[in-house]
Structure 1
């Protein structure tokens, strides 16, 4: 067990960021669980629909959405070089974030997502903070991420949390912005 700055203890060496009166808890989750599957589906539906609306004026074709979900089941977010974290709000699965090592000193922040009903309650910063703690636990000294132009809320969050926009570190097909932060 480890303890984070707020004193919250969590199994697996991951420290949840929950305040004394916050109804948030953050726990590691198996990528094959029903909870993870539901969050992955919600995440992909939202980001895919936003992209299709931006580029084509309509939501994602359901068959394509199923292919996208099946193509990335979070395989890199498994121990010993990765982790998936789930944020719970009053016992309900509210969101997720993952971290995985790209090299021994650098982790990548992946799949940061909060369901719409839970936004605006401080969960995103707690979730990213827990993912940073997890990345440190994996041995990383730096964390990177990529995102898109239309995910303005995400870019605003990352900047607020001390991430700096940087040069591209990958050639991911939908990446339009890259960020990094020293841990």
Structure 2
């Protein structure tokens, strides 16, 4: 008999140990990818620790944000967050699925849950930025109906910007 495994997605406090572990995995991966591509080495461990400590995720806390954690078969395996930029616009951030959990549909489910969270915050559109080397992320966003646009921020690492109009759910 085949055993069914499932994703569950729920809100998480940005400062929780689960959120911190996922943030560490996310930041380590994207930072190492950037440094390997541009400088030929992984992130300096001291810099990595400074950056992780500085990024508390407080902007993803209620009442103006939400952090969501995806659990696969009960195990924390991914995250996505939203934060309001203005009354009608939210930003999608920290979309991440652990490497060994990829290919199981978690990223699309996390983004859909983040879209619902943005709607609940009153947003009518979601925007996001990503880097050129994160080709998997860019493909995901395009597949999920996000349109590449001009810059909406001046983030040092942002190379591609996307937006999606959120259709109200009745």
Please, what TM-score do these two structures have when normalized by structure 1?
Answer: 0.88
1:35 to 7, 18, 24: 18
C-alpha separation between the residues in 2 aligned to 1:122 and 1:165?
A: 22
- Map of 1:83 onto structure 2: 66
Question: How much has 1:72 moved relative to structure 2?
Answer: 1.0
Question: How much has 1:44 moved relative to structure 2?
Answer: 0.5
C-alpha separation between the residues in 1 aligned to 2:21 and 2:66?
A: 17
- Map of 1:172 onto structure 2: 155
Indicate the RMSD between aligned Cα atoms, in angstroms: 0.8
- Map of 1:128 onto structure 2: 111
SS state at 1:104 partner:
coil
Structure 1: stretches of 5+ with no match in the other structure:
1-20
1:106 partnered with 2:89: yes
C-alpha separation between the residues in 1 aligned to 2:40 and 2:150?
A: 30
- Map of 2:125 onto structure 1: 142
Please, what TM-score do these two structures have when normalized by structure 2?
Answer: 0.95
C-alpha separation between the residues in 1 aligned to 2:105 and 2:20?
A: 23
- Map of 1:6 onto structure 2: none
Question: How much has 1:75 moved relative to structure 2?
Answer: 1.1
1:26 partnered with 2:15: no
Question: How much has 1:22 moved relative to structure 2?
Answer: 5.7
C-alpha separation between the residues in 1 aligned to 2:50 and 2:85?
A: 25
C-alpha separation between the residues in 2 aligned to 1:34 and 1:22?
A: 24
SS state at 1:100 partner:
strand
Q: How many aligned residue pairs are there?
A: 163
2:98 to 95, 112, 115: 115
1:66 to 18, 24, 49: 49
Structure 2: stretches of 5+ with no match in the other structure:
none
